[in-house]
Chains A and B, each alone.
Chain A
Amino acid sequence: MVAETAPSVVTAAATRAAPAIRALAWLARRAEAVAIPLGAVLVGLALFGLFLLTLGKSPAALVDLVWRGGFGSAFAWQNSLQRAAPLLFAGLCVALPARLGLVVIGGEGAIVLGGLAAAVVAPPLSGLPAPLVVAAMALAALLAGAAWIGAVGALKAYRGVDATIASLLMSSIAIALANHLIEGPLRDPASLNKPSTLPVGEANMLGAMPGIGVHWGLSAGLLACLAAWLLVERTTLGFSARIAGGNVRAAQIQGLPVRRLIVGFTALGGACAALAGFFEVVAVQGNANATLAAGYGFTGILVAFLARHNPLAIPPVALALGGLEASSGLIQRRMQLPDATILVLEGLLFLCLLIGETAYGRFKIFSPHLWASRKASAT
């Protein structure tokens, strides 16, 4: 409480300070946002290094391999970016409803249904120009995802059903439904040992982005993150959502349409997740099959929480995760460590990053108001 009131007093003091000091203060605050996560990552790596040392493996080799596997070359970047792409959408599915205080953990279901919807509309439209078919597929995916997670929001808004459990249950139901359809009524009879829907057609597939070698889902995901940030931070809708997320009663008193906001934001989140499924179908698999449930939805929860539900922070977090996973193969091959190594490392790093949250505002060097207060006490 006390710590929070202090800065506002000091900001007033800081505005009166010289422009040079103000610039320095600005820099210090930015430096904090870089230095603390960096320090946390270093602590996490050190802890993991100890773990490796007890197993007789070299921590230096691991850091080297994470670097080379995730970021050290053009190929490594391609690998990391490709893994990050679906996580952008999956992260948004958690981050958008979080603005209203809802913890939605069932994005996986919307991904699967989005992919399935996209795959289902393509075969009947074969013959139409490819852009038209792809647009129809995207629309179908968006609608399916928006309906599925929007239903979670509607249950919350109109029935008071908790969104966390409802989304998790609905996700399991969605996956079961998709499996049933893919292996039953919608199965392509020619898909023998890998049950799938009918192919969407070679002509309707989106290739890789030229020069990058990663599919278009990456740029679409980045755009979606940007759009989500604009919505949340720069529009009255986003502002209303944040008020409702902070205090429902207050928002209702102000006459905000809380229920419609809840349905709208959950539906938007679901639509984002569905796009991950859409790109899996239209840029990767070429049909819908059981691998649509690859776990992106669950990784997305982690991405959103690490990004503190800030859409602009989702891309770097997703990239970091993608890089770690990309390096997993090298670590298995070069160090003869099991695949679970990267899970342990991820867990440790994220714990340290989260612990780092508590360090904000604690270091004098990053806190201009503490400089000022020292001066004030000195004079």
Chain B
Amino acid sequence: MSQDLGLWTVPLAVIGGAIRVSTPFLFVSLGETITERAGRINLGLEGTLVFGAMAAYATAVLTGSAWTGVAAAGLAGAGFGLVHGVICSLPRVNDVAVGIALMLFGLGLAFFLGKPFIQPSAPPLPAIPFGFWSDLPQVQAALRVNVLFLVGAALSVVLWWAFRHTRAGLVVRAVGDSAEAARAMGYSVTRVRVLATMAGGVLAGIGGAYLSLYYPGSWNEGISSGQGLMAVALVIFARWNPLACFGAALLFGGAGALGPALQSVGVSSGYYLFYAAPYVLTLALLVATSSPDRALAGAPGELGLSR
């Protein structure tokens, strides 16, 4: 039935892994890009991601519909974003700290409310079999692409375009680059930032829905293992560029598949080091593409991190 592909397993697994694993990274980092472009950092998206995963799974179990679950996750994410956005609009409140507190709160609430949903099975999100042309089950499996991945890919292009060419995009950027100037132009800085944080929350919540309803497609308390936090950091790597977020997410997902795939073809010692591949690769790229002179080109001026 399935034939032995030998070493070809590895690149195939990396491609498959990039498609399977990247989606939560993509959604969270796109969401955080919107938020940071408006001049706020929401470090708490890990909590939103996990809460979204729980909310999606629970809703899907209760209603029998995976898409209702996705909607619930987005809604929950908007709620978390709203809380973060409003609290950070108060004077003298540090957005990074609020993010960390919300991360704890989101994780805690997700674990607390998610207890009854560990045992039941939820209906999974559908996938499109782009590998239909191949007889190889491995290729078919690698190219089973979830709709959310395609949505995320399209979204990164749309956002990239929108930041440059739409009024909304320009307003967000203006607010993020200089609150004073945006205020002078007559925009409500607070409202734009709250909305941008909510949009970030929605996307992070949907990223969580992907985790619990498609891949790994299960709800338990170890579902994320820090992916949300990593994705927030990846935004810096991607230099606040949605297209680069897509690339970063693919890189991270693909490199993450390297460890298991290498073991399956017999490279079995030092697997911890292979598992560190995504981090090493990202760090190396980061060092190679940075320069002390133009530190963080593309960073929104109002962002606390860039100072």
- Classify A-B as touching or not with yes or no (CB < 8 A): yes
- Using CB atoms and an 8 Å cutoff, list the residues of chain A in contact with chain B: 101, 103, 105, 155, 157-162, 164-166, 168-170, 172-173, 176-177, 179-180, 183-184, 248, 301-302, 305-306, 308, 338-348, 350-351, 354-355, 357-358, 360
Can you show 30 pairs from A to B with CB atoms below 8 A apart?
A103-B96, A105-B229, A157-B292, A159-B291, A161-B286, A162-B305, A164-B233, A165-B233, A169-B286, A176-B276, A176-B279, A179-B272, A180-B270, A305-B96, A306-B97, A340-B107, A340-B112, A341-B108, A343-B105, A343-B112, A344-B109, A344-B112, A347-B109, A351-B98, A351-B101, A354-B94, A354-B98, A357-B90, A358-B90, A358-B93
Nearest A residue to B286, CB-CB: A161
Chain B residues within an 8 Å CB radius of A354: 87, 93-94, 97-98, 101
For A305, the closest partner residue in chain B by CB is: B97
Q: What string of 1s and 0s marks CB contacts (under 8 Å) between B174-192 and chain A?
A: 0000000000000000000
Closest 6 CB pairs of A and B: A347-B105, A343-B108, A340-B111, A176-B276, A344-B108, A305-B97
> Are A183 and B272 in touch, CB under 8 angstroms?
yes
Given contacts A162-B296, A344-B108, A347-B104, are A176 and B229 in contact (CB under 8 A)? no
- Note all chain A residues with C-beta closer than 8 A to B272: 176-177, 179-180, 183-184
A166 to B236, CA, bound (A): 10
Task: Output the least CB separation between B245 and chain A (Å).
Answer: 13
A164-B236 in contact (CB<8A): yes
A168 nearest in chain B by CB position: B233
Closest to B284 in A: A169
| Closest partner residue, chain B, to A259 (CB atom) | B292
Contact check: which of A160, A164, A345 meets B295 at CB < 8 Å?
A160
CB distance from A163 to the nearest CB of B (A): 9
Q: Are A305 and B91 in contact (CB under 8 A)?
A: no
Chain B residues within an 8 Å CB radius of A160:
290-296
B249 at the interface (CB under 8 A from A): no
Q: Are B286 and A165 in contact (CB under 8 A)?
A: yes
Let me know if B105 and A344 touch, CB within 8 A. yes
A159 near B290 (CB under 8 angstroms)? yes
B141 located at the interface, meaning its Cβ lies under 8 Å from any Cβ of chain A in the complex: no
15 new A-B contacts at CB < 8 Å, known A169-B283, A176-B276, A308-B94? A155-B290, A157-B292, A160-B293, A162-B296, A164-B233, A164-B305, A165-B282, A168-B233, A343-B104, A343-B105, A344-B109, A344-B112, A347-B102, A348-B105, A350-B105
Residues of chain B at the chain A interface (Cβ within 8 Å): 47, 83, 87, 90-94, 96-98, 100-112, 115, 229-230, 233-234, 236-237, 269-270, 272-273, 275-276, 279-280, 282-283, 286-287, 290-296, 304-305, 307
The interface residues of chain B lying within 8 Å CB-to-CB of A350 are 97, 100-101, 104-105
Give the residues in chain A near B110, CB-CB below 8 Å: 340
Distance in angstroms between the alpha carbons of A173 and B255 in the assembled complex? 14
Given contacts A177-B272, A305-B94, contact A169 B279 (CB under 8 A): yes
Write the chain B residue with the least CB distance to A158. B292
With A165-B233, A169-B233 already in contact, the answer to whether A155 and B287 are too (CB < 8 A) is yes
Please name the residue on chain A nearest to B95 by beta carbon. Answer: A354
Judge whether B287 and A159 touch: CB under 8 Å: yes
Nearest residue (CB) in B for A180 is B272
- Smallest beta-carbon distance B230→chain A, Å: 7
Contacting residue for B92 out of A170, A348, A358, CB 8 A: A358
Rounded to whole Å, the gap between the CB of A137 and the closest CB of chain B is 24
Give the Cβ gap from A282 to chain B, nearest Cβ, in Å.
Answer: 24
A306 contacts across to B, CB distance below 8 A? 97
